[in-house]
């Protein structure tokens, strides 16, 4: 009998907890403004379109290096023309028996910077004719991987042709020992 009464009291207590109590909140009155309206001073708006470099030079035909690097995904596996200054090129040490394949780096300014475009698959005669500090227009395919083993996550230019480049005639190939490339 006591067990039944305990169970009945327990069941009644659970039932009582399920009904939420009513709480009446008094309505708050909005304060009436006294005096002039508040003045808000905000900093000037930031123009975001100026932070991304332009994609092309003023001629509209050749791409800028920084513009290409900012939009690299859009140009993957496409043939493009890039105008830039040669800031660095690889030259095999004279005493070396094994060398890297010829490659170079372009930038929008002769001084260079952190956003450089790697140009790969350069023939040796073209690599020798390139002069650091000079501006070149290079046509090629923009990709992340070249057939001669170079890989760049943000893209590289696979050389096809260069404008304004004077290539020297090669000397007798039998006289010159060519290095092996790895």
Q: Which domains does the chain have, with CATH numbers?
A: 53-164+177-181 (2.40.50.140)
| Residue 174 confidence (pLDDT) | 47
Per-residue pLDDT band at 140 (split at 50, 70, 90): very high
Write the pLDDT tens digit of every residue in 120-134.
999 999 999 999 999
Q: What is the mean pLDDT of the chain?
A: 84
DSSP 90: -
Please answer whether residues 159 and 137 qualify as being in contact, where contact means their C-beta atoms are separated by less than 8 angstroms.
no
**Is 119's pLDDT higher than 90?**
yes
- Asked if 112 and 150 touch (Cβ cutoff 8 Å), the reply is no
Quick count: other Cβ atoms within 10 Å of Cβ 19? 7
Residue 65: pLDDT over 60: yes
Distance (Å) of CA 35 to CA 5, 32, 39, 61: 68, 10, 12, 61
pLDDT at position 165: 80
pLDDT 10s digits, 1-50: 777 777 767 666 665 555 666 777 777 777 776 778 888 888 888 776 66
Q: What is the pLDDT of residues 141-169, one digit of tens each?
A: 999 999 999 999 999 999 999 997 877 66
- How far CA 16 is from CA of 6, 8, 10, 20, in Å, comes to 15, 12, 10, 9
pTM exceeding 0.75: no
pLDDT of residue 118: 97
CB 84 within 8 A of CB 117: yes
How many alpha carbons fall within 13 Å on the CB side of residue 153?
Answer: 0
Sequence-separated (6 or more) residues with CB below 8 Å from residue 142? 68, 72, 75, 76, 77, 78, 79, 80, 155, 156, 157, 158
Average of pLDDT values for 43-67?
A: 86
Model confidence over 96-115: pLDDT tens digits? 889 999 999 999 999 988 88
């Amino acid at each position: 009998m006591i067990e039944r009464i305990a169970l009945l009291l327990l069941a009644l207590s659970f039932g009582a907890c399920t009904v939420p109590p009513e709480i009446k909140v008094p309505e708050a009155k909005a304060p009436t403004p006294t005096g002039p309206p508040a003045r808000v001073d905000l900093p000037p708006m930031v123009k975001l379109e100026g932070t991304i470099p332009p994609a092309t030079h003023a001629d509209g035909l050749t791409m800028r290096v920084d513009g290409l690097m900012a939009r690299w995904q859009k140009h993957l596996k496409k043939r493009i023309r890039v105008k830039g200054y040669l800031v660095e090129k690889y030259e095999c040490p004279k005493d070396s028996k094994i060398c890297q394949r010829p490659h170079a780096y372009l930038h929008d300014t002769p001084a260079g910077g952190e956003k450089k475009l790697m140009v790969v698959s350069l023939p040796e005669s073209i690599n020798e004719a390139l002069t650091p500090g000079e501006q070149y227009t290079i046509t090629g395919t923009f990709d992340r991987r070249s057939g001669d083993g170079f890989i760049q996550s943000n893209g590289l230019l696979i050389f096809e042709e260069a404008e304004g480049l004077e290539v020297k005639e090669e000397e007798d190939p039998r006289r010159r020992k060519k290095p092996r490339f790895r």
